[in-house]
Amino acid sequence: MSSFRSLDILNDLTGQTALVRVDFNVPMENGRVSDDTRLRSALPTIKLLSAKGAKVALLAHFDRPKGKIVPEMSLRPIVAPLEALLGHPVAFAVDCIGEPARLVLDGLKPGGVALLENVRFHPGEEENDPDFVSQLAALGHIYVNDAFSAAHRAHASTEGVARKLRAYPGLSMSRELAALDAALGTPRRPVLGIVGGSKVSTKLDLLRNLIDKLDKLAIGGGMANTFLYAQGHPIGASLCEKDLAETARDILAAAKAKGCEILLPIDLVCAEELKSGVLSVVRRVDEVAEQDKIFDAGPLSAARLTSVIDSVATVIWNGPLGVFEVPPFDAATVAVARHTASLAKAGSIIAVAGGGDTVAALNAAGVAQDFSFVSTAGGAFLEWMEGKPLPGVDALKIG
């Protein structure tokens, strides 16, 4: 984190406006916020800047209006729940640039907070248009990005403004960056990666990047079927990208050359259909029948993986080991998640997880709160794992 400025060094900000990029792309039902998790995650940064006397101008997007004003995608419905969480009024500007935004900000007292309208109502946002960037930057004195989940986009409010004003990561962003550095940047070794999901094709970049950085990599979910097929094991009627068999063999060979041990399932939970409570059977990897469909890693595979976790210092997880949404095919994911969480809670390992399905699986297992860090950033987390540059993060770096 030494390559980023810290908000802690800021003193009295009275008379200054802080442009703060937040992620308020929240779930809505009937015009109301149905999950305020993202609002809550922004509170520490907002409160810190407010306490230092800054006028806090919040920049955010909602949905995909594609550069046009779409009334149903206005951020106005977020004002009331944000006011309730902050405990004081939040002003609303009907535009994020120009006179409407300026008048609202001029009317704020030191420490006041304003939410500016959806930045994506302007085509210049996603185009990172220099003129739009300048209009945003003209509203503030400093810039703070507290939306890691949008950091993989080189948009005006995530990257452009950061290069116009003195830029800082927010508290939530800083916590995320520190956790990710602890997982893959400068981790305690050995490091184990757990990667699941349905298709190898969606995670090729991820796998190729991870075998360069990990000591061990466990592959689960439907994508494990492709690797098993590539090794000559029967997979019955299971999901499998047979056209990627050669790619899978190349990945296995590259991992071996780089000293990264690949862990594939040694037994599997099969059924003839994906249905809750359906009759299932555990098969060894060389015993899968023609009519079988593989829906989970077996108990021996889960036990072996928990044993491996006992031997490592860091675990990074993306993707479930089976179709966890449909019992009994959640068993391996739940068993491994609970074991990992118990060690992380005890301080024995660092355990970082991310990705929508992964977060849902950990919540279903009741252990998300016990991991060292769980990222809800989605696409940004995956691109970070793939080793891709994150424009919104790079723009915050000093020098």
- 19 has which bridge partners? 57, 143
Q: Which of 183, 196, 190 is nearest to 332 (CA)?
A: 196
Helices (H), the chain: 37-51, 79-86, 98-106, 123-127, 130-137, 171-180, 204-213, 222-230, 245-258, 299-310, 331-345, 356-365, 379-385, 391-394
CA distance 135 to 144: 16
**Of 356, 378, 387, 388, catalytic:** 356
Known active-site residue 379: yes
- List of residues 6+ apart from 253 with CB closer than 8 A: none
Q: Is the dihedral of CA 110, 111, 117, 120 positive or negative?
A: positive
Do 385 and 206 form a contact (C-beta atoms < 8 A)?
A: yes
Q: Closest Cα partner for 211 from 265, 247, 261? A: 261
Tell me which of 21, 38, 164, 203 is the catalytic residue. Answer: 38
Q: What residues contact residue 235 under an 8 Å CB cut-off, 6+ apart?
A: 225, 228, 229, 288, 294
- Asked about 199 being catalytic, the answer comes back as yes
C-alpha Rg value of the chain to the nearest Å: 23
Q: Is 242 labeled as catalytic in the residue annotation?
A: no
Helix/strand/coil for 242: helix
Per-residue 3-state assignment (H helix, E strand, C coil) for 19-56: EEECCCCCCEECCEECCCHHHHHHHHHHHHHHHCCCEE
Per the residue annotation, which of 47, 199, 208, 304 is the catalytic one? Answer: 199
State the catalytic residue, choosing from 236, 378, 379, 387.
379
Contact, 141 vs 17, CB < 8 A? yes
Rounded CA separation 304/1 (Å): 35
Name the nearest CA neighbour of 381 among 369, 372, 393: 393
Q: Which is it for strands 28-29 and 32-33: parallel, antiparallel or unpaired?
A: antiparallel
Residues serving a catalytic function are 38, 199, 356, 379
